[in-house]
């Protein structure tokens, strides 16, 4: 198996695990956009973790219900963006935070 094929298979597996829809576009666009989208998801997950850590550091006691409610609200917004299947969209918006894209 070539390195390119292995990377493509890794991307497809990552999308299936995350439950993300397949992207549309040329093979090169889809490959690039998949990496961009997976990185955006990773940054969103880091943001959620940072919010929990900030609350703990500041001694703010947030209940699990409060954290879950906030996470659910952000996740609802993010789902709109993550549902975008055009590779071009992800390429054109690379580096943008999912929360910013959702607010547009």
Bridge partners (DSSP) listed for residue 86: 24
pLDDT (0 to 100) of residue 48? 78
Judged by phi (left if over 0) then psi (alpha if -120 to 50, else beta), residue 22 lies in beta
Please spell the DSSP secondary structure of 3-59, one letter per residue. HHHHHHHHHHHHHHHHTPPPPBS-HHHHHHHHHHHHHHHHHHHHHHHHHHHHHHHTT
Contact 26, 87 (CB under 8 A): yes
Chain segment 34-90, per-residue pLDDT in tens = 999 988 888 888 887 887 777 677 666 666 567 667 777 777 888 888 889 999 999
pLDDT (0 to 100) of residue 3? 42
Sorted by where each begins, the domain ranges of the chain are 3-103
* Whole-prediction pTM: 0.70
**CA 40, CA 26: separation in Å to the nearest integer?**
20
């Amino acid at each position: 198996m070539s390195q390119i094929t292995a990377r493509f298979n890794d991307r497809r597996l990552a999308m299936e695990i995350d439950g993300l829809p397949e992207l549309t576009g040329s093979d090169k666009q889809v490959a690039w956009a998949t990496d961009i989208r997976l990185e955006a998801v990773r940054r969103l997950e880091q943001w959620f973790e940072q919010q929990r850590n900030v609350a703990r550091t500041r001694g703010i006691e947030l209940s699990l219900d409060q954290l879950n409610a906030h996470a659910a609200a952000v996740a609802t917004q993010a789902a709109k963006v993550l549902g975008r299947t055009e590779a071009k969209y992800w390429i054109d918006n690379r580096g943008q935070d999912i929360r910013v894209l959702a607010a547009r």
